[in-house]
Amino acid sequence: MTDLDDLKGLEKYDRTKMLDLITAFPEQIRDAKCIGSGYEAQPELKRSYKNMVIAGVGGSAIGADLVRSYVLKESKNPIIVNRNYTMPAFVGDESLVVASSYSGNTEETLSAYDDAKAKSAKIIAITSGGELEKKARSDGFGVMIVPKGMPPRAALGYSFFPLLILLSKLGLLIGQKDKEIDETIQNLRELNDKKIGQAVPSGKNIAKRIAAELYGKFPIIYGGQDNIDSIVTRWRGQLAENAKTLSSSQLFPEMNHNEIVGWENPKSMLKSLAVVMLRDKDDHPRNSKRMDITKTIIEKEGVKVIEVSSIGGGLLSRIFSLIYMGDFVSFYLAMLNKRDPTPVERVTYLKNKLIE
């Protein structure tokens, strides 16, 4: 098995330096905060809306999902994340649409942008350039520019924090988020230094331990509906793209109304499964109890259940602690799988076939 403590050995597989991008995530957040804070939204956007739709897919959409989860109990406006070519029928001139595409060339987002424009929605684009920037500037809409050159999944800070700050500036959230963001940056730095970074030896490293327990298994990611739902999706996406590992996910309480019954068969497959249960101190008390009971049921089938608890003070800090842990887990699992985390050949192949 690959020695996760041997940095030189890891470089043999991490040829495109994904570890550097993951490690630098706290500094990316700091930069993203500056971008959001420095952006001046058009005055006419500071108004009330019936709804808000964030159009994006992949790495850009997960940032939107996380914003939706984080402000769930704060935002008075319904927030929808739209992963499609078209806009919902309810979008109109009282809707705010944020078109989020890191590359600026995502075909689904460009199509959704055109549909939103046709429906007379108010639009803001978040992108590093490409066709989306050209369209938005030509149409007179606001554009928030973020740095280019990364895999979209490694640019989560740029898809989340400028958007969060923008919503605060437009008066759609309660107060500014500077304190919460600064706390998050500091918490992630400490996590990197003391608990999950590559320099932390395996005996003390949470993320390396989890990756070792997932190696050779089919991971199933569970979490609560409140605030954690999008983190579950992030873990599944990172395991797929970085570790080249298929996994599945489900949320509580829904999981207890169907999937829990399936934990019997096929018997031959159960021994190949491993469960990761993401937990937070603000999980609904009934969901917490459901998780405890569910863990017992699954362990009776001889399946390992790995509990991962958020770390930090405020909600934003805790959310991103789970995200940061998941990113490192996906990297270490890629190393154990002896795969370069960065290339996504099948996504590239699919895009090329769509062009034909």
- Torsion angles phi and psi, residue 219, rounded to 5: -75, 140
Examine the residue annotation and report whether 12 is marked as an active-site residue of this protein: no
Q: How many other CB atoms are there within 10 angstroms of residue 306's CB atom?
A: 16
Q: How many CA atoms lie within 13 A of 141 on its CB side?
A: 25
Give dist(CA 75, CA 167) in Å, integer: 9
* Of 84, 53, 333, residue with least CA distance to 221: 333
- List residues bridging with 97 in a β-sheet: 53, 123
Give dist(CA 175, CA 71) in Å, integer: 12
Instruction: Please identify which of the residues 135, 177, 208, 241 carries the catalytic annotation.
Output: 241
* Of 276, 300, 259, 278, residue with least CA distance to 219: 276
Query: Residue 296 belongs to what H/E stretch?
Result: helix 285-299
Question: Is 309 within 8 Å of 206 (Cβ atoms)?
Answer: no
Please return the burial class of 67, using the count of CB atoms within 10 Å of its CB with bins 0-12, 13-18 and 19+.
buried
| DSSP codes of every residue in 17-54 | -HHHHHHTHHHHHHHHHHHHHH----GGG-S--SEEEE
Examine the residue annotation and report whether 17 is marked as an active-site residue of this protein: no
Which two structure tokens, joined as six digits, stand for 45?
């956007």
Instruction: Please identify which of the residues 257, 267, 300, 353 carries the catalytic annotation.
Output: 257
Instruction: Please identify which of the residues 17, 46, 271, 351 carries the catalytic annotation.
Output: 351
Examine the residue annotation and report whether 257 is marked as an active-site residue of this protein: yes
Q: Which residues are catalytic?
A: 241, 257, 351
